[in-house]
Structure 1
C-alpha cells in the first residue's frame, strides 16, 4: 500500500517494521525537513519513536588549501535502514540516511528506570560535489561524539523545542523541535514529558528574544542600516581561550569580542566569555579557533603560516566565519565569512598583541570589534604566550608616552631655569648703594 498524504502531512502506514514520515519543515535552518521515525517490533508495536529537525555546518579543505563552510540539511529522500528497538541487553538505534551518501545515527541504553542517548555517529560524503565543491579529501568521513542528553524516565517523552548543538572535528550539528521516546512500553507513546534545560513550560518557536548583551537601534525604514551603530557604554569582557593537541596546549587566545550586525535592525552583541566554549583544530601550517557563546552564535578564526619554506616564517589571520542562529527555532539569522584577511601578522613562535580596539570587516552587514587581543595559534610552549609582537596602534602609544614625558620634563626644566633667572634679578636689586 502506498502512503497517503493529507494537508496535515503523510499518514502512517498500517503495517511496517519501521515507518518513516517526512514533513516539509517551516522556515527552519537551511530549509531542513522534519523527520518522523516510528520503529516497530515483530508484533507491529511501536518500540522507538522520534520526530526532529537537524542540520550540519561542516568546515572542509579545498584543493587550493583554503577552508570553506558547507551546510548540509535533510531532504525528502531520507531512509531509516538499521534502526532497531533495543532491549535490556542491546542498545536501541535510531539511524537515517539522506542525500548523496550521508548518514546519521544515535544509540540509546536503558537502566531499570531511565533511558539516555550515548553516542552520535555522523558520516558525510565529500564526493557530494553539490555540498562540498572542490573538496580536497574525497569520500565518506565519519565522526563519533558523546551525546549530552540527560537520563529520561522510562515511559516519558523527551521534548526540546529550542536549538541544541554539538561540535566536534570541524562539524557542528544542530537539532531542534525534538520529540523522542526510546524503549516504548506496550507500544504506547508516554503522556508525560521531560523537557530539555533550554525549554521552559511556555517555550514555542516564536521570535528571537533580546538579552542583556544586545543593544538595538531603532529604524523606521527597510533601507539598508548604517554601517556604524552607537556602541554600548561598556566594552565586552575579555575571555581566555585555549586548544589542546593531546595533552599539550597548541593555541592560546585572549580577546574581548563584539559583533556589529547591520541587517534589518542594527545590533551590537557582546560575546560573554563566561558562557563561551572553545573548540577547533591545530596544525603545523593551519589552525582554527571556533567559539560558541552558548546563545547560538558561532565564530571561527582560521590562521595560516606564510613563507613556509623561508628561514623566517610568519603567521596571520586568513579567514573568519560567523553564524548566528535563532536559538528557539534554529533558523539562520546571519551567516557570513571572509577568507581574504591578512591581519594579526607575527613571527612563528611569537604571539600577536593589540590592546587597542580593532575592527574586522566580514562583509557589509557584519563587523567584529576586538579588544585586549593576544593570540598565538602555533608553537605554544609550557601553556604560556611567547614574546609578543605588538600592533602598530599599540606601538604608537608606546612611542608617544616617553615623548610626552620628555616634553613635560623639558617644560619643567625651562620653568625652573626661568624661576632661577627671576630670583637672581630680585636678589641684585636688594643691594643698592647709599
Structure 2
C-alpha cells in the first residue's frame, strides 16, 4: 500500500513539475454570449488522513473537466459571476469575479474534494465532501484585457493548495473570444522584456518610461520575538520583497514597483496561546506585520494576516494595505514551516509579498532554534525532479537492453549448426 502511495505521489509530482498537466478550456455563457473564458492548467495538492498516516494527493485538473451550468453564471446586480469546473467523483474548482469598473479580479477561489473517491485518495479514512474557500487569490487585470500568467502560481486555500500555470483568462467579456490585449502577471514580467500590450492599437503616442529592472533576490534576515521572560517565542528567517502599486508623484500615474527589504529590519511582536505577531520596521518608511493563528483542535497553525504601512518619497500619500483572512504557510504545532522556493503571498489588489528561503516558527519554540521543518509542496516537488528523471532514464535503458537482447536472439535463430 505504501509503495502505491509513493508511485501516486511521483506521478502527481511529474504532472506538476514537468508540465504534464493538461490544458483545459472553460467557458460560461449567457445565451450565445460568452462572459467568462479560461484556458489554463491546474493541479491541486490535498493533504488527507489515512488509516496509518497523513498522505498528500496531487490532483491535476483533467481535460475532461466541464463547466457546471447549475453553479456557473454571468452574474447579476446582486450576484457575482462564477466559473465552476466539475470533474471526477464529486470534485470541483470554482472562481468568482468582481470588478470596480476599471479592473476585474478573482474574488474567491473554492476547492471541493470528495474523500470517498479512493482513486484519488487511496486509503482515506473519511468519506466526507470538503469545501474550502479563500479570498487571497491575487489574480486581477484591466477590464477588456486577458489576464495572462504562464508561470506557475500557487494559491493556498484552507490548508490545501491550487497551482495554476499557462493561464489565459478573462471575465466581463465584450466578445466571445479572449481579448488580444493582455494584463501580464508579475511573475511573467520578471522573465520577459516584451512590452506590455495596450487596450487599443489606435491610442495616441505617449512618452515611454523605462520599465524598472527587477531587483533580484533579497538577502535573508533572521528575526526573533521574545516573551516577557526574555525567551524566544517566535523565530523567522526569510528574504522579503514587496510588490506594490501606488500613485507616483513624479510620474502622476499609478506605478508598480518591486522592492527588496534589507535584512536588518527591527523586529518586535507578541506571542499568545493561539496567536502570534511579528512586526518588522525600517525607520519611518516601512512597517510590515504578520499575524499567525493556531487551531488548538487540529494543532495546525497558519499565517492569517499581513499588514503593510509604507511611506516612500515618491508616494503621493502613505500606502496602507491589510488582509486578516489569509490562509498561508500551514504547518503543525511543534514543527517549523520551511519553503526555500519563492512564494507570492497575495494580500490586496495593490500589494503582494514575495518570500525567499523562508523558515518560520511562531509557536512552540523551546531552544531558540527551529524545530523539525515541514516543507512546502514546491520544495517537495523540486526534490522529486531528479528521482523522476532518474527513474525515467533507468526505464529507458531497461527498454533498450530488452530490445537488444530480443533482437540478438532472433538473429541467432536464422543460423543452423553444420
Kindly indicate whether structure 1 or structure 2 has the higher relative contact order, using CA contacts under 8 Å at least 6 residues apart: 2
The structure whose Rg is larger is: 1
